[in-house]
A and B are shown apart, each in its own frame.
Chain A
Amino acid sequence: MADRSLTYVRTEMAEALPPPKSTTGISAWMRENLFSSPANSLLTIVGLALIIWLAIPIWNFLVADAVFSDPEGLRGEACRFEGVGACWIFIQARFSFFIYGFYPPEEIWRINLMFLIGVILMIPLLAPRAPFTRTAAVLFFLVFPFVAFFLMAGGILSLESVPTNRWGGLTLTLIISLIGIIVSMPVGILLALGRQSRLPVIKGFCIAFIELWRAVPLITVLFMASVMFPLFTPQGMQPDVLLRAIIGICLFESAYMAEVVRGGLQAIPRGQSEASFALGLSKPKTVALITLPQALKHVIPGIVNTFIALFKDTSLVSIIGIFELLNTVRAASSDIAWQFPTDAVTGYIFAGFVFWLFCFGMSRYSIYMENRLHTGHRR
């Protein structure tokens, strides 16, 4: 409107055009994101230098100076020299110990069978729109725990009995965290709902429970479970130390989960439950069909965050003498036969990598779930 006239009527409609060329392509991307200004260019160069400066020693340790094989069989001597990097034959030699702990080697097929059943049942639960979801859910949550327990513990059907102090390694880490996840989720939801209850007794109990468990460090909970608990129970009546630790973790994580879920419930506008009531739905149905599904969807990142923290926290049970993954790694690297300069570092790198792998997997899965459940912008 160059003529500064106040009236204007469009006579031709503007066509939709493709975007200008310069904003696409690799060189354009680099120009725009890495070298858009002198300061940005400088930062890019400094960043690049930093990466190279860090990458070289890491590369040397993990690959160049590392020991990948031992022609004379897997022996500690092969890594016993000055300037050795990571000793991968150590991981190779003790791999089975890291995965299965002290479980009798000839019974390891039972663990593998358990994992196989677990994975097969989890596929329809985790994959979208897979068939048999309902059947798989029933089997996984109601039947699988018993099957897994009897496979692990034995003592029936001519399976040799394996006491829990021989369970260990990654197997035990996964068992503890899976039980923690499966128990803390529903208990946490119940606590969160109870905390919003109008009945003072229920509300008070839930608040007290949550605040008590949240205020105590997990290490303290585990020490209480292993040391204090036996003091109050009669001799011979004490439940297994692993069971006590798992119960402690479940209660602890339930309190955290409750607060995550409560955050989600609070984000749901009151109009949602009012609309549901106005349609004639009862309070329990309103919670189950309207508020809770929305609340859980909102807090998927928080839920998965709690799961990831739980998974890593399982390593704390090592302080009460339970041989989960980290403790088997520690035990293996202090083995006399495997004394070499980098024994601890190699072991911890391996353990760290395994933890990272599982946590990263959970994190990616949660992002995928969020996108799948996204149903358009809220108004």
Chain B
Amino acid sequence: MPKTIDEINKKIKKGEAVVLTAEEVKEMASSSGIKEVAKKVDVVTTATFGPMCSSGAFINFGHTRPGIRMAKIWLNDVPAYAGLAAVDAYIGATELSETDPNYGGAHIIEDLIKGKDIRLKAIGTGTDCYPRKTVETYINKDNINECFLFNPRNAYQNYNAATNSSKKTLYTYMGILLPNFGNVTYSTTGELSPLLNDPGLRTIGIGTRIFLGGTQGYVAWNGTQFNTTTARNRKGIPIGPSATLALIGNLKKMKPEYIKPAIFEHYGISLFVGIGVPIPVLDQEIARAVSIRDRKIETLLCDYGAEGHPPIARVSYEELKSGSIVINNRKIKTGPLSSIYVARRIAKVLKRWIVSGRFLLSEPVAPLPRRSRFKHLIIRKGGKR
């Protein structure tokens, strides 16, 4: 008998819902079968905690008296985007400080969450309604107006694994890739990862309530670079990068343990984002999807040492997570980029929230795109007007 989200929410309110983490449900499926999962389990919690460069926060500083229309803004010497009204700004995670190469937008986000004071410097041109031309002061999360994380691309449904055939060490967003196929890195949590547990995106859509950075957040839109054309394996899992999510949530309520700035040597700054997504087990098809194990989740191993990062092999997460894989008859060490340890904790926290009735599931307001392809940027001379 299929269930509805409404029915599941009623059970959650009564404290009767059966909630398992994505790993627990897979154990159950292998011992008692998918039918049993569909019958007994109401919600499966999935999670990820990995570096997600396409993240940032909107801030409204409030007005000084007299006011300023901020045209350029720096937070602890990190430029913030000021092209929004008078005192709104967007601070992107990867923006670098103008004075410290190991500090950037991601650190501003962390400092805001921690409640630290941040030096704000802004300049404007001075207008009749906003005569002030400069301001220098300190802000923190308690003395500003709204501050929300709005990440344009998070929670990739699968991503490439990386290696390097070239003769030199590469410093990339996939970590340090050693020469001559010296190592392999991979960035998703495989069977624990949100969008890999609902490969058809049946339950996740615009408006879905989630765990974001330690508080409740929402799916705001499909993420950028959303791609539905990626080839799928027999289990319906895309083999390589496909769907993504744009996420939104109140930064003021986030916890520093679930949002962490990251420095990638000779590449730049990124942000570890903690995400947890509940999957309602509505029917047998979803029960089957949440039961798929790492063995059946595959991705492409791409060579970052060659132009265009061509794929050189197809590998499963079981192989990647085992610690080594074999390429050209050679055993090569693999290492993750995202923390399965923290992701497991997130899945458990979200499970607790649901079991205790603090967190209800939401019906998507609108579905994610059914068709969308990833375009390349074409360089051309002259344009039509």
To the question of whether A and B form a pair in one complex, the answer is: no
